[in-house]
Structure 1
Amino acid sequence: MSRIAFLYPGQGAQEVGMAEDFYEKSIEAKAVFDSASDILDFDVREICFQENELLDKTEYTQAAMVTACLAITREIEKRGLYPEMTAGLSLGEYCALAAAGSISDMDAVRTVRARGIFMEHAAPEGTGAMAAVLGMDGEAVERIVHDLEGVFIANYNCPGQIVITGEKEAVNQSAAVLKEAGARRVLPLKVSGPFHSPMMEPAGKKLEEFLEKIPVKEPVIPYVTNVTAKVVESGESIKDLLVKQVSSSVRWEQGIRTMIAQGIDTFVEIGPGKTLSGFMKKTDKNVKMYRISTWEEADAVCGELLKQQKVGTPERHGSSSENM
């Protein structure tokens, strides 16, 4: 029997129309979208389903992404497919926590709405930048970045793909140094800030204050945190990890290797895009990787995996109408 983990993408995977078919066909998914629109200061359904400029704006993107991913999750859970472990890339970690039963769906949506605003305004516009370093391993990038002022590692995505972040001029200047040292390419990313750098610490402090009023419980299902790439089973440390995550490196590749070492052999990427599936191909080709972003994919993946997994609904903390 397969040991399954749910994976959730981060900011950048968003697309117009994400989870719209789930909204139209699933009572559970519709309830997530409707509840999110009720508690937010904007209609998340319009942001997700209609062409607009706000979907790519951090302060809207984060709540929209989490709503869409959790809407899909609740439908596939209704069908009987559950994970034994969860993880999410940066923003996706909030979906992972909700799927793990540590935080309610609507508290996750509320928190990332605030997180998005804090991150959007943490650094003056135009002062920060990010870039993907291709064809160089993490240790090599670390050695070079260590000697460059104002540049930091944002993401360890997979072998041969590291993301750097920090002050705009420093990030731009580092491209030549990295290429000279052996990087195949250094590609600027279209982002609105120097995410996962010390420049985000003001956002982390505000997030810490916001999280004081958000109930975070011990996960029913273990999840792997970006900050340490380790399994977290205790609720006590989660808030601190979420605060640190804003300004520290996302250790995605290391986290995936942790999950595989724990016996996970099947991964399901839930939400728009195929970024995490691409990372997995470069990390470990021996595990099984599935994607669910459309209703048709949900039919196919759930149909296949439920043949391998005993159907049952685990006890979930905080599983109430607010989770819908």
Structure 2
Amino acid sequence: MIMNIKELKKTLFIFPGQGSQSLGMGTNLLNQFPKLKTFYDVGSEILGYDILDVIKNDEKKINETLYTQPAIFIDSIIRESLLLANNIFPNAVAGHSLGEYSALVSANVIDFEDALKIIKIRSYEMQNAGIENPGKMLALIGATEKQVKKICNKGKILVIANYNSYDQVVLSGDKDSIENAIINCREIGIRKAIPLKTSGAFHSPLMSSASKRVKEIIDSIKFHDATIPIYQNTNPVGEKIGDKIKQNLINQIENPVQWVDIINNMEKDNNSLDFIEVGNGKVLKKLNDKILKKSKTLTFNMINF
């Protein structure tokens, strides 16, 4: 289904996080809209390296946390700018993990430059925390709440990192606990246990060192009240007060992404408006299709400009 941009009115914007990246993502838009290169130029100046070159040409780096996070953020903001330029404005916003930073910019809480300054530190510190405290992540498909609790209780450090949909949760923990969890999942009949390719145990206590360092830069930046409600990973209800949004963001790195509650609340609070996944791919659409009651989710590639 391709929708003409003129058919879209009020929508809800959602922004993807790590795992949505691909080599060359979004760079085709430069052919049609060359002025978008300004975002890459400003981004490269803040980051200290050519982020456009990484996205276009370096398959290894694009999948490393240090580069993945700023690349996804810039790509999402570029796509959002095209929607805004075509008079498509969100009623509310949310982002999955890293995607929350794009949502903050969309809600005018912080600007593009300040968000990228935080992400520059966040990506470095999260990659470094993964080296200091090695961990892994594991997606469970079709597990009951009781089964998930049983698996987590058997681990040394093993927690729920993402409540992604009704039949998918992601666990985060130390390497041994994750490897044992894979075996335990088979034994108790969980349908699927899929190891994820991440550089660390995100949204877990193993990220505590990163969380402390990221807090320092977040605290140094002024957070404005949001112009539209933002539904955050650790607070899945609409929020507009800048200081509360800041504290929720600080809590994010060590705590789970409450995606199911976010999407349910956004749908309920906004009269079942449709969602647009403002980013590369369709990771969030796949999750939303399992959650939503009435609303539908469009991907950016389904929109004809």
Could you tell me the TM-score, scaled by structure 2's length? Answer: 0.92
SS of 2:304's equivalent in the other structure is helix
Counterparts of 1:240-279 in structure 2, within 5 Å, are 240-263=247-270, 264-279=272-287
Aligned with 2:304 (options 299, 310, 313) = 299
Whichever residue aligns with residue 304 of structure 2, its letter is D
CA RMSD between the two structures: 1.8
Aligned partner of 2:105 in structure 1 is 98
Q: Which moved more, 1:35-44 or 1:247-256?
A: 35-44
Spell out, residue by residue over 1:44-100, the C-alpha distance to the aligned partner (whole angstroms, 9 max, x if none).
111112233111110111111100110111111011001000010000000011011
In the alignment of these two chains, the number of paired residues is 297
Aligned partner of 1:283 in structure 2 is 291
Aligned partner of 2:28 in structure 1 is 21
Give how far 1:178 is off.
2.8
Aligned partner of 1:58 in structure 2 is 65
Question: Does 1:11 pair with 2:24?
Answer: no
Q: How many percent identity over aligned positions?
A: 30
Give how far 1:280 is off.
1.1
Whichever residue aligns with residue 254 of structure 2, its letter is S
Whichever residue aligns with residue 289 of structure 1, its letter is T
Aligned partner of 1:315 in structure 2 is none
Give how far 1:292 is off.
0.5
Aligned partner of 1:235 in structure 2 is 242
Aligned partner of 1:321 in structure 2 is none
Question: Does 1:136 pair with 2:148?
Answer: no
Q: Residues 141 and 2 (structure 1 numbering): CA distance in 2 closer, same or farther, change over 3 Å?
A: farther
Could you tell me the TM-score, scaled by structure 1's length? Answer: 0.87
Give how far 1:189 is off.
0.7
SS of 1:14's equivalent in the other structure is coil
Counterparts of 1:137-286 in structure 2, within 5 Å, are 137-138=144-145, 140-263=147-270, 264-284=272-292, 286=294
CA distance in 2, matches of 1:93, 1:248: 14
Q: Which moved more, 1:146-155 or 1:213-222?
A: 146-155
Spell out, residue by residue over 1:208-258, the C-alpha distance to the aligned partner (whole angstroms, 9 max, x if none).
111122222111111100012121111011222112110101111111011
SS of 2:76's equivalent in the other structure is helix
- 4+ runs deviating over 6 angstroms: none
Q: Which moved more, 1:263-272 or 1:56-65?
A: 263-272
Whichever residue aligns with residue 282 of structure 2, its letter is K
Give how far 1:147 is off.
4.8
CA distance in 2, matches of 1:278, 1:90: 16
Whichever residue aligns with residue 284 of structure 1, its letter is L
Give how far 1:143 is off.
4.8
Gaps of 5+ in 1: 301-324
Aligned partner of 1:81 in structure 2 is 88
